[in-house]
Structure 1
Amino acid sequence: MRREGYELQVGQPQVIFKEIDGVKCEPIELLVVDVPQETAGKVIELATQRKGELTIMEPKGDLQHLEFRIPSRGLIAFQRNDSRKNQRFDDCHGNGPCTAYAIDKLQDRGVFFVDPGDDLYIGQVVGEHSRDNDIVVNIQKGKKLTNMRASGSDDNVRIIPAKKFSLEESMEYIQKDEYLEITPKSIRMRKIYLDENERGRMAKKDV
């Protein structure tokens, strides 16, 4: 569809439940994982947290072969590294390009998905916060101009390269309150409700 010039938005994948003979049922899948021995315990922990049932555990050369019966909903975003909190930076300032100066001042807060000069809009997900909460940031502000330049006052801006996602990785990464915006030229993550205040109101309704 992108090759044909279409633009679309998609949300986080959702599992479809079905009622069979009056019983609510959900799809169960087979998960097969071959991992080094030292990481097998972590994989088992992650799978069982998602209601996975370990059915086979056996050596396979230098690897450990694991098989699980697991609900489909447990597989959504399973490839993601769960050691991350996956909290977001949301842009707040408005439409326009982000600046190297603004990104540089916030680099110690996390990882950014955008480069200086990229056009942004309110509610766009622009990075991953290093702590376990979403925050709204302004990465469009520039350095204040003065009439005189003091010796040594200019900052040496060193921007860490932006983290880039493939289409598949973006699909795994988005959360239930986000959309993936797909165009022929770009892939962007955004909040479903772009306005910060509206997001707060909707979050309270879901509680």
Structure 2
Amino acid sequence: MQKIRNIAIIAHVDHGKTSLVDRMLQAGKLFREESAELTQMLDNNDLERERGITILSKNVSIRYQDYKINIIDTPGHADFGGEVERVLNMADGCLLIVDAFEGPMPQTRFVLSKAIEMGLKPIVVINKVDKENCRPDEVQEMVFDLMFNLNATEDQLDFPTFFGSAKQGWMSTDWRKPTDDIHQLLDAIIKYIPEPPMLEGASQMLITSLDYSSFVGRIAVGRVHRGNLKVGQNIVLMKRDGTQQQSKIKELNIFEGLGRRKVEEVACGDICA
């Protein structure tokens, strides 16, 4: 049984996605102190910090109980449509974050429509319930209507909802009853998001993004969809135009916390570089 959960995060600009991910990293004990300064770990590109938006998708992972949760960040703009589809291919479910005052926004709709089309199971987080004039119940209805309009299946419409404040560091199933942490949300990710299927057979990995290192050159990032990958294994790179290129795996890394760890083998369902 695979103790892995791959979850994509969908949110409009400034609805609290980066703060929530920081809290998840904190819950995964990735900061030394519980009170560690939250520094928007996902928006680490200069342009992103300057504009306060997410352009490039990034991967981080946390260990919670005995599970590994891969958190896949999605771009929040329709302009990055190709990036969105590639990124969602790595996930088995999605976390939709919505501001308790503003409700779902047009850009959220675009990414969510792609996630629903791909059959991802959603978990809804209504964030910033500590703000004045917030209307969590009304926003929950709006999210339901939006998913219904996007032709979500009955299973997708039966989504669990969590209310809370990523800034204050709590999540609960009832916004009138604040808790002390976000553990209820992490438990729900393990409960509702399906584990990646184990597919036996010839190794197959879908490359969703490229990275670069001055030591090793180009690095392919993606999810292993079938079989296992091993260091030293001979592979064929299938290009979009149908050409094929013989290659060999020189090094394998999995995502751990905010960094990467070298491994000898990566199993089906995990995300690697």
Q: TM-score range by the shorter chain?
A: under 0.3
TM-score, structure 2 normalization? 0.19
TM-score, structure 1 normalization? 0.23
User: Considering only CA atoms, is the larger Rg found in Structure 1 or Structure 2?
Assistant: 1
> Per chain length, whose mean CA-contact separation is higher, i.e. which structure has more relative contact order (CA < 8 Å, sep 6+)?
1
